[in-house]
Structure 1
Amino acid sequence: MSSFKTRAVPPNPSRASLPGSIPAASRWPAQWALPHFRWRLGLVLLLLVGLLPIIPDFYHYIQARPGRLLPDPLASLLPVRDVSAPTFTLIYGSIVATLWQVLPRPLQLLRALWGYYFLQLFRMLTLWLLPLDPPRELVNLHDPVVDYLFQVAEQPIVRDLFFSGHTATMVLLLLLARGPRLRLAMLLASIAVGTLVLVQRVHYSYDVLAAPLFAWLAYRLADKVAGKA
């Protein structure tokens, strides 16, 4: 009678380190069990909700306040066009791609929420400190989401200039991205959005060039609050 010996199959270390795999300690069940994760997540959600009733009045105040018109030789090199459609296609497409990646990763989602919150605070501070009038060649940018939330269809907000929130948001998404392909796509999309808002003249070049710095500061603060992802 023949006997069969079973051979133990050694574990395949490559399976545990597949690209895009999430370690068990970084998944939702493990993180949700930690009190410090829950209160950091709850706090940032409360802070973001707390901004909702403040932001519309703040931006209407910014819009009603006169500002200074700046020369912008760099932007003058670009044509003037209404490029709202490609601008927001890139922005909202990038948001969806980032959410797809960060939602299964609670620490990364926590960093994204805190980064966005700090970015809003930075922008409100710089807008309050630096009243500016928009470029003379401005073509109104039509954001279907913002126009609906803030009811700016009748009176567009055009004095929210320094720094460019659209560009800064894209750079924040770039910093949150994981993987070389997504990072490259986010980099190209960030450059494209920064260029398109100048083509539409809704920002000065100074607003766009300063945006990555504030996005990086918001990301670094979020990294300290949320911890390593």
Structure 2
Amino acid sequence: MTTSTTTPLQRWKTFFADRSSVVSGIITLVVVVLTLISYTGFLQAVERRSGVVFVDSIHRILGPIDVTWPTFVVLYASLILALGVLLTRPEHLFRTLRAYSILVGIRVICMALLPLDPPMTTIPLHDPFVALFTSSEHSTLTKDLFFSGHTATLALLALSMPTRSLRIVFILSTTALATFTVLQHVHYTVDVIVAPMAALLAFVLNRGFAAENQ
């Protein structure tokens, strides 16, 4: 049976009937949890260190403009849509979670190698979800730079969507979020430009690992 002719319930039944898929799914969930726990500590350490500030030519032309609410409308609407889609397709769901873990790893490496302080004109983005994973002292992150995690996440979801129409929707939402991020000076422009590239790298690496294990 193909994905297009089966129901979500049938897909999950097929998934659970395959022992290797179940084991892989459990391992994926464990890795994601451990990744997020480690990521939390790393982000707190990043907030305590000093970094480099550089002049952003685009920032000198645009903003800063407080677009916090439009940013979160786009971000969380996209995440809810993605969750709704992926929960009906277990193989896509776990594949995306594995790619996300790789993306987090890439971001950690980039931040570790290139410590940056936020732009002088930044308007902090108060993210209620990030606050769940950080201490109250650092609930608003400002130094998690190079590259934009929000932009990269939506770009990864665009790559992971099962249909062309959904990919277009997520490309548009990624573009909107990237624009808002630059306008608010939350990230340097280069952070936003690199984010989709990092997402593509994580997507390709995950696909390569999956092909090797087949």
Counterpart check, 1:64 vs 2:44:
no
Match of 2:77 in 1: 93
SS at match of 2:146: coil
SS at match of 2:196: helix
CA contact (8 A) 1:40 1:226 kept: no
The offset of 1:79, in angstroms, is 1.7
The offset of 1:153, in angstroms, is 5.9
The offset of 1:212, in angstroms, is 0.8
Match of 2:11 in 1: 27
CA separation in 2, counterparts of 1:52 and 1:101? 22
Greater mean alpha carbon deviation, residues 199-208 or residues 153-162: 153-162
Q: Against the structure 1 CA distance between its residues 196 and 147, is the aligned structure 2 distance closer, same or farther, given a 3 Å change threshold?
A: same
CA separation in 1, counterparts of 2:7 and 2:40? 41
Report the AA paired with residue 128 of structure 2. P
SS at match of 1:158: coil
From 186, 207, 212, give the equivalent of 1:223. Answer: 207
Stretches of structure 1 lacking an aligned partner (at least 5 in a row): 1-15
Q: Against the structure 1 CA distance between its residues 75 and 97, is the aligned structure 2 distance closer, same or farther, given a 3 Å change threshold?
A: same
CA separation in 2, counterparts of 1:84 and 1:226? 37
Select the structure of larger CA radius of gyration.
Answer: 1
1:132-147 mapped onto 2 (5 Å cutoff): 132-147=116-131
CA separation in 1, counterparts of 2:170 and 2:76? 12
SS at match of 2:143: coil
Counterpart check, 1:122 vs 2:106:
yes
The offset of 1:226, in angstroms, is 4.7
Q: Which one has the bigger helix percentage? A: 2
SS at match of 2:133: helix
Counterpart check, 1:55 vs 2:7:
no
Counterpart check, 1:150 vs 2:134:
yes
Q: Against the structure 1 CA distance between its residues 192 and 153, is the aligned structure 2 distance closer, same or farther, given a 3 Å change threshold?
A: farther
Name the Cα RMSD after superposition: 2.2
Q: Against the structure 1 CA distance between its residues 82 and 151, is the aligned structure 2 distance closer, same or farther, given a 3 Å change threshold?
A: farther
Task: Spell out, residue by residue over 1:161-181, the C-alpha distance to the aligned partner (whole angstroms, 9 max, x if none).
Answer: 001101100101111123333
